[in-house]
Amino acid sequence: MLAANVVDPTYASELFRQPKDTEWSPAIWDIDLSSGTATLSKPETKLGRLTLPLAPMLGCFGVAPARGQAISTATYRRARGNMDYRGFVSGVTVYFPVLMPGALLFVGDGHAVKVTVR
């Protein structure tokens, strides 16, 4: 999903239009956990069977905000939020402030690969 604040709103709707006379179909990826890769199997593209290295991490994480507030996770706050921090991976130790009894930990926005655009 593309966040509304990433591109000019007048252009955003153009990003999801299918070329005329084509049918939409989802991308199918073959996941190989032993090699730590994901390979595009469908649809067939000019990229062929593109293989990418897996680098899973969680993009959103945090605890319930103070005073029962309802806040968006789209931005960073004291309770945390959409951090997209590549260090938040399996095995890491993270400390959060406890702002409400029980803390109510939330996680989400899973990422599978790290893509670097040059």
Mean pLDDT, consecutive 10-residue stretches, the chain (118 aa), reads 63 67 80 93 82 88 79 69 80 85 83 74
The number of distinct structural domains making up the chain is 1
Plot region of 104 (φ>0 → left; ψ -120 to 50 → alpha; else → beta): left
Separation CA 53–CA 116 (nearest Å): 12
Residue 88, CA distances (Å) to 59, 71, 83, 97 in order: 8, 21, 9, 16
Give residue 7's pLDDT: 67
Separation CA 111–CA 116 (nearest Å): 14
Residue 33 falls inside a structural domain: yes
Give residue 114's pLDDT: 72
Give residue 33's pLDDT: 93
Closest CA to 83 of 109, 53, 51: 109
- What confidence tens digit (pLDDT) does each residue in 87-113 have? 888 888 888 888 888 778 888 888 888
Residue 77 falls inside a structural domain: yes
Beta strands in the chain (DSSP E): 28-32, 37-42, 51-62, 80-82, 106-113
Residue 5 falls inside a structural domain: no
Look up the domain containing 91 and give its range: 24-113
Residue 13, CA distances (Å) to 10, 17, 26, 117 in order: 7, 7, 18, 23
Residue 3 falls inside a structural domain: no
Residue 71 falls inside a structural domain: yes
Residue 6 falls inside a structural domain: no
Residue 48 falls inside a structural domain: yes
